[in-house]
Amino acid sequence: MPLLKKREDKKQKEADKYVCTLDDETAKRAKEELGEDPKNRMSQVETLRKWIEEQKHLNCRTDTTHLLLYLRCCKFSQLMARKKIENYMKVMTETPEWFKDLNPSDPRILAVLDSTFVFPLPGYDDLGRKVVFFRTGKFFEISAKFNKHDVFRACIMLIAFVNRDEQTQVNGVVYLTDNSGMEMKHINYFGVENYLKALKIWQNSFPGRYKEFHYYNPGVAFSAFMQMAKSVMPDKVKKRLFIHGSNMEDVYKVIPMKMLPDDYLPDEYDGPSPGTVKQIIEKLKKDVNQADFKKEIMDDTSGKYFYDKSAKSEEVPQASFRKLNID
């Protein structure tokens, strides 16, 4: 079968397989904020897919749902999406201790989840955004059950889990951190080098729209950490940081109470909630072990996808730049 015919068959197969799950409001936001037009969505995906297939140094997923994640976080700029894909594949290849063989059933990853250190809150906020909750001091209570690499591996798995949702790809993610119990020894546990490495990887490589960062109950250790973190943060991220005191009333103003665990709600609250932290974690462990996601994350981190620096060409194929949608 001629190569052109094979590519056309593949293109048609991908087009038929993808079904957009965005509701009308989110689809409207995607068009207004990201430049995503349903009429040329598949042609944009195909342009990016074709470029990937031309790169000898890249071996990565080219399915429509995966490529849309990169296009959306880059506002459908082909150049930015290419750079983001290259960056991600490079760090994935060069940091196997964090990215290799992520199995949601791995006892070490489950131990991190059980620590209640990090988990996405069920549902979405009033702007349709996902909220990811960090409890900085909590996991050190049982940290002997895993090592520092396990923590980063669990976080990477959860990022992948959250970002596969199309609504989240468009509306973005909000981070809420409870710093209760955070001490200087916790920062020293990971080491400054690992913190900075993680921040750089997250900023430059992970696809996603990260909208706000809220910090509750800050202390001396947190202030020291933020001083270090801000040294590598772009101004855009710094403007999205919000420091709250030790009063949960400030948090309720930015995170809907209906999303927060019972553990963080006042006794007199009688509205909807997702349950206790423990109940949320138990459901999360079941969700990440659903067959579709488990198969996907294990395939993604199996080693079959990689960045080969030795095969990278310094020449830029001109044909690949003819269908750019530059911001």
* Burial 273-310, CB ≥16 within 10 A → b, else e: bbeebeebbeebbeebeeeebeebbeebbeeebebeee
Q: Regarding beta strands 173-178 and 130-135, do their DSSP bridges make them parallel or antiparallel, or are they unpaired?
A: parallel
Q: Which domains does the chain have, with CATH numbers?
A: 3-98+303-321 (no CATH), 102-292 (3.40.525.10)
Query: Residue 320: what pLDDT?
Result: 41
Distance, CA of 48 to CA of 63 (rounded, Å): 11
- Is residue 325 very low, low, confident or very high in pLDDT (cuts 50, 70, 90)? very low
Distance, CA of 295 to CA of 210 (rounded, Å): 26
- Residue 101: pLDDT above 70? yes
- Residue 82: pLDDT above 90? yes
pTM over 0.85: yes
pLDDT, one tens digit per residue, over 172-228 is 999 999 988 887 777 777 776 777 778 778 878 889 999 999 999 987 777 777 877
Distance, CA of 116 to CA of 281 (rounded, Å): 7
Q: How many CB atoms lie within 10 A of CB 141?
A: 11
Distance, CA of 269 to CA of 134 (rounded, Å): 23
Cα angle 103, 299, 175 (rounded to 5 degrees) comes to: 60
